[in-house]
């Protein structure tokens, strides 16, 4: 039986409500939210909340799939088109209206973990958020999910926006078919509700044309239907003529040799990690925390104390400002004690958290790289407005030219969000560590993962 895309209206809310409970039946999320016991009163309560909030957000788009023979709505997806947001309101967690009968603690935990992770990764920039994509179990494997995803990808390409989503391990395959990349994970603490645990997969489809700005998002009026064109093909990526190349983002990559530059490196760190919970706990700012001057001095000392530490900067041709930088270490002398980190951390650093995470990572690196000469990338940071301009890749390539010429392997400890770039350049994951930031002054139950990757040399050893 054929199927087709369709807009979802408020009159469809009861069917969508039933679809959600059917799709998540026996899923671990149903244990978290209502002990896997969707009573009629719980379903009715959730429907009331859905109808109450319907059309309140003008950024929301709902797209579904109908069976053309029966007219039945068999699948549903909920999207949000976020424009560039000013101020700090976007950082605030939503005020939740928990349906009657739901486990309030579990509901809040689910929304808080996922929203915090999304805000950390996407920030205030414009993007598309896929909140959910579901199909009645009896109609799965008919291509409904693919139809809705194709529509979303078309919108992303038309507006030059990335798409962010979180998925269960079971659903990740559909999104990977559309070239979504796994960039991180969310750890749900379900110990109070079930014996199982869940790592939700965080995925991103990057904007199709990184060198171009996004286009304005057309806003709908309240209760206005969204135009659906199921037959519209996904457009090919256009090749820009040379005359249209944007030189505003030209950079020069060079070693850091001027001591004055190290204060700017610390400023770039501040901008890059402003919303990163791990870094904010490691090096807290404000009273009793670290300052830009102290961290700049720490970097200067790091280079002075060990000649195998190297800093490389990317400078904007247009402004002359450093917009990104990389620090790497060369383990060249197996007889000498190497000190990739400064002997003394900046005042105010969170030493217990540093030891909990980096001691484990250091032990793994020493085990895997024992007896080898190799390179180690310690830091790679870019100011937010220069993200997805290829700056990080250029800095890494400068470093890789060094280790490839030597015929050495390369090590990096990174956030899952950066894995896509490193894997494209040849790194492979060999381990990692997950730390509960709540044990070190952070949000209770917030799990931060760092992955360890190794890359084989791509060049030929020159003698």
pLDDT tens by residue, the chain, 463 residues: 588 888 888 999 999 999 988 888 767 677 667 776 778 888 898 898 888 888 778 888 999 999 988 999 999 999 999 888 877 777 777 666 777 877 777 778 888 888 888 988 998 889 999 999 999 999 988 889 998 998 999 888 888 899 999 988 778 888 888 889 888 888 777 666 665 666 678 888 888 877 777 888 776 554 455 555 433 333 332 232 222 233 455 788 889 988 889 999 999 988 888 777 777 777 666 544 567 788 888 888 888 888 888 999 999 877 888 999 999 999 988 777 665 554 556 667 777 877 777 788 888 998 999 999 999 999 999 998 888 788 999 999 999 999 998 999 999 998 887 788 898 899 999 998 888 877 877 777 677 788 999 999 985 433 3
Q: How far is Cα 114 from Cα 165, in angstroms, rounded to an integer?
A: 10
182 forms beta bridges with 203
Give the predicted TM-score (pTM) of the model: 0.53
Q: How far is Cα 47 from Cα 79, in angstroms, rounded to an integer?
A: 19
- CB neighbours of residue 360 within 10 Å: 17
Nearest to 204 by CA among 59, 380, 420: 420
Helix (H) or strand (E) holding 151, with range, is helix 144-159
How many helices (DSSP H) and strands (DSSP E) are in the chain? 12, 14
- DSSP code of 185? E
Q: 161 near 205, Cβ under 8 Å?
A: no
Q: How far is Cα 250 from Cα 374, in angstroms, rounded to an integer?
A: 31
Q: How far is Cα 223 from Cα 58, in angstroms, rounded to an integer?
A: 9
Phi-psi region of 155 (alpha: psi -120 to 50; beta: other; left: phi over 0): alpha
């Amino acid at each position: 039986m054929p199927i087709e895309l369709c807009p979802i209206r408020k009159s469809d809310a009861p069917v969508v409500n039933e679809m959600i409970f059917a799709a998540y039946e026996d899923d671990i999320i149903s244990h978290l939210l209502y002990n896997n016991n969707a009573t009629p009163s719980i379903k009715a309560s959730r429907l009331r909340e859905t109808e109450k909030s319907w059309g309140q957000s003008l950024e929301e788009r709902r797209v579904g799939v109908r069976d053309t023979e029966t007219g039945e709505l068999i699948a549903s997806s909920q999207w949000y088109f976020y424009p560039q947001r000013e101020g700090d309101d976007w950082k605030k967690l939503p005020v939740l209206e928990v349906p009657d009968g739901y486990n309030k603690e579990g509901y809040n935990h689910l929304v808080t973990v996922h929203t915090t992770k999304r805000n950390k990764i996407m920030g205030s920039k414009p993007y598309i958020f896929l909140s959910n994509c579901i199909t009645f179990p009896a109609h799965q494997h008919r291509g409904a999910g693919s139809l809705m995803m194709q529509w979303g990808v078309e919108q992303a390409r038309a507006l030059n926006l990335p798409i962010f989503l979180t998925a269960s391990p079971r659903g990740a395959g559909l999104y990977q078919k559309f070239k979504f990349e796994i960039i991180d994970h969310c750890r749900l603490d379900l110990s109070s509700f079930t014996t199982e645990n869940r790592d939700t997969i965080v995925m991103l489809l990057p904007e199709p044309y990184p060198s171009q700005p996004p286009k304005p998002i057309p806003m709908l009026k309240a209760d206005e239907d969204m135009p659906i064109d199921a037959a519209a093909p996904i457009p090919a990526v256009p090749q820009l003529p040379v005359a249209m190349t944007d030189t505003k983002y030209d950079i020069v990559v060079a070693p850091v040799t001027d001591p004055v530059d190290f204060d700017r490196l610390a400023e770039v760190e501040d901008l890059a990690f402003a919303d990163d919970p791990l870094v904010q706990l490691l090096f807290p700012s404000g009273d009793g925390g670290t300052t830009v001057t102290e961290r700049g001095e720490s970097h200067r000392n790091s280079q002075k104390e060990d000649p195998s530490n190297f800093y490389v900067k990317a400078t904007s041709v247009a402004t002359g400002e450093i917009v990104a930088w990389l620090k790497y270490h060369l383990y060249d002398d197996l007889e000498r004690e190497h000190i990739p980190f400064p002997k003394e951390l900046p005042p105010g650093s969170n030493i217990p958290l540093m030891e909990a995470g980096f001691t484990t990572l250091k032990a793994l690196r020493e085990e895997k790289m024992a007896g080898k000469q190799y390179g180690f990338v310690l830091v790679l940071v870019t100011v937010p407005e220069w993200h997805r301009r290829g700056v990080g890749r250029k800095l890494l390539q400068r470093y890789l030219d060094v280790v490839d010429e030597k015929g050495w392997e390369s090590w990096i400890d990174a956030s899952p969000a950066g894995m896509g770039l490193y894997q494209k350049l040849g790194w492979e994951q060999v381990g990692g560590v997950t730390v509960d930031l709540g044990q070190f002054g952070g949000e209770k139950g917030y799990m931060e993962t760092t992955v360890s990757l190794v890359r084989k040399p791509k060049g030929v050893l020159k003698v």
